[in-house]
Structure 1
Amino acid sequence: MVSAFLLVFFRIAAMVFTAPILGSKAVSAKHRVLVSLVLAGVSFSAMPQAATNAIPLDANFIAPLASEISIGVSLGLGTMIIFSAAQMAGNILGQLAGLQFFDQLDPTTGGTSSPVGQLFGLTSLATFALMNGPDLVVGSVLHTFHQLPPGTAIASVGLLELIPQILQQSFILSISGVGPGIAAMLVTSITFGFVCRTFPQMNLTSLALGSNVSIMFLAIFLTLGGCIWLFVDDLGPTLEQIQSVFVSSATGFSQ
């Protein structure tokens, strides 16, 4: 029973430590462990007896433990990558507008990000929270226990195929989200370039920078809502894709 509970706990803890909001640095490690213990206790008590058969705590226990961690990490990181794509979309707009000099430390990720990228990231996380996104992610990892009981062995081939698919999908979302803004600033840059070539005596550098910033804010005002919902709407299909990959990669039970 102890070994089965450990497997349940590590699957949930791996998701909690990597998912958006729950895995943020603003949430202390002890609180994340506490949330994982509570969810693991509720899930374990609701499982049928056949799914909680004890697995010996020996060297063979490492394989099922790694499988549980891979399931939880994949669900958490799969969600986090989607919202990282939203932040990357904002960073692209900021760089095109010439605001890369204003990059600063992002306390939620520990890396540097432009103010526009942080705006997109925080807005997407706020939308994620308002639409009960944490409940959706937690429900997804709890639902996996019905299809993948604790100790299920997972083939690594499916996981290796899943990672590039999610990364490709997040990149496409980033480009799709900022496409209108990129097109608007590209037209502005081409226009000012044409004017500078036609009238070289005119110094339009400062005017061009201000125009790019103005066009960027106009693009954000017109497209931010639709761009954020583009990422949020993709969350459900991404979680379903991750679950289906693990179900198809299940090879049996580790004993």
Structure 2
Amino acid sequence: MSMSANGSGSVSVRAVADQALVEAAPSIASQVLVDDLLEAGWLVDGPSPTDDGGVVMVLAHNFSNAEELALILGSIGPPLSDVTARRDVTRDALDNVIAAENSVSANLGLVDGFNDFSDSDLSALLGGTPFGDVLEGRSPSDVMTFDISIAMPETSAEGGERIEMWSAPLDGSTASLEMTTRQTTDNPTTLTSRISTALGYLLVAWIAVSAIFISWVVIARRRRAQRHHAG
């Protein structure tokens, strides 16, 4: 996952099946159903063959805010679960964002092994865990890995971005994913915001000068009127 300075960004998922898996379940190389993914807004690239006889598929989905980010990450499913995402911003008197705190948290793990990838209805329909005959006698940690990388804006980090990585435990245990970054800015990301700030200050100055000028005109007229009556 990668987040830009304004809180938007993209989530990408790269799924790789090695040669052994392709040989055991050849359909994953040609019969992957992606209609539901496309309807949910994912961009799909693949499956494509790899040099070592496997296949790779890459999915991508953009997000505009923290709420969308949480929904997209949550839709990935086990071993990623209980995803939350927040972005709290601080604004100045002209409503420009001057600071932000970004946070993401989740749980990692497969508490019930391969069964976490299914549900009771699907297992009943298939007569057991999907690909149970192929996976018999094996645990998730024997046949797969799950790594996640998160990049979020961080003012104090080199390059203005902090990147952290996690690997999900696949032995029945769980782990926590937690990351928080902080930004401080006078909203330099857009020229429009700078112009609006400058115009705001000019407006205040113009009002002040106008008030002084009007007061000077009123005082000057009073003095002329007083001299006229005195004469």
TM-score, length basis structure 2: 0.28
TM-score, length basis structure 1: 0.26
Bigger radius of gyration among the two: 2
Q: Comparing both chains, which one has the higher relative contact order based on Cα–Cα distances under 8 Å and sequence gaps of 6 or more?
A: 1
